[in-house]
């Protein structure tokens, strides 16, 4: 069973970003499934690596649009992105060093952050983007 299930409440009404959010949700679900199945550290590590890389790619996409349309909340939104990247890098480092309870901690953090970020912070730009022709 999926940890996070995509539905319309996650949509920011920008196709490219919605597709990226769906991919992020899929990666978190893969990580959760791998942990529940007792997959090896190498497999979980590869999923975490992909999640980190894809998250950076996704943030670059959003921030490209922010610059393109002079989004007024850019600074605050980018701070959330930077804080997230730092936190996940710390998790990744601790995971690689073998912290035993890190898996549950990572999943709890990722689910909460992604859900709150998409349904809260990202929703704030939805109308602004749409009004400027970004769908």
Instruction: Please give the structure tokens belonging to residue 102.
Output: 């890190």
pLDDT of residue 101: 61
Cα-to-chain-centroid distance, residue 114: 5
- From first to last of its 135 residues, the chain has per-residue pLDDT tens of 799 999 999 999 999 999 999 999 999 999 999 988 988 888 888 998 999 999 999 999 999 999 999 999 999 999 999 999 999 988 888 888 886 566 788 899 999 999 999 999 999 999 999 999 999
Helices (H), the chain: 15-36, 41-69, 74-96, 102-116, 123-131
Instruction: Please give the structure tokens belonging to residue 90.
Output: 């710390």
pLDDT of residue 23: 98
pLDDT of residue 102: 67
pLDDT of residue 1: 77
pLDDT of residue 19: 98
For residues 22-56, one letter each, b for 16 or more C-beta atoms within 10 angstroms of the residue's C-beta and e for the rest, the string is ebbbebbbbbbebbeeebeeeebeebbeebbeebe
Domains of the chain in sequence order: 12-131 (1.20.120.50)
* Residue keyed to tokens 């979980």: 44
């Amino acid at each position: 069973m999926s940890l996070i299930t995509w539905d319309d409440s996650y949509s920011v009404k920008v196709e490219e970003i919605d597709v990226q959010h769906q991919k992020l949700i899929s990666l978190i679900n893969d990580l959760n499934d791998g942990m529940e199945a007792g997959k090896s550290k190498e497999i979980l590590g590869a999923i975490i690596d992909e999640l980190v890389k894809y998250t950076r790619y996704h943030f670059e996409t959003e921030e490209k649009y922010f610059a393109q349309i002079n989004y007024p909340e850019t600074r605050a939104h980018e701070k959330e992105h930077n804080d997230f990247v730092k936190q996940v890098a710390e998790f990744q480092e601790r995971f690689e060093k073998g912290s035993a309870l890190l898996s549950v901690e990572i999943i709890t953090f990722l689910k909460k952050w992604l859900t709150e970020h998409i349904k809260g912070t990202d929703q704030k730009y939805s109308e602004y983007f749409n009004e400027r022709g970004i769908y």
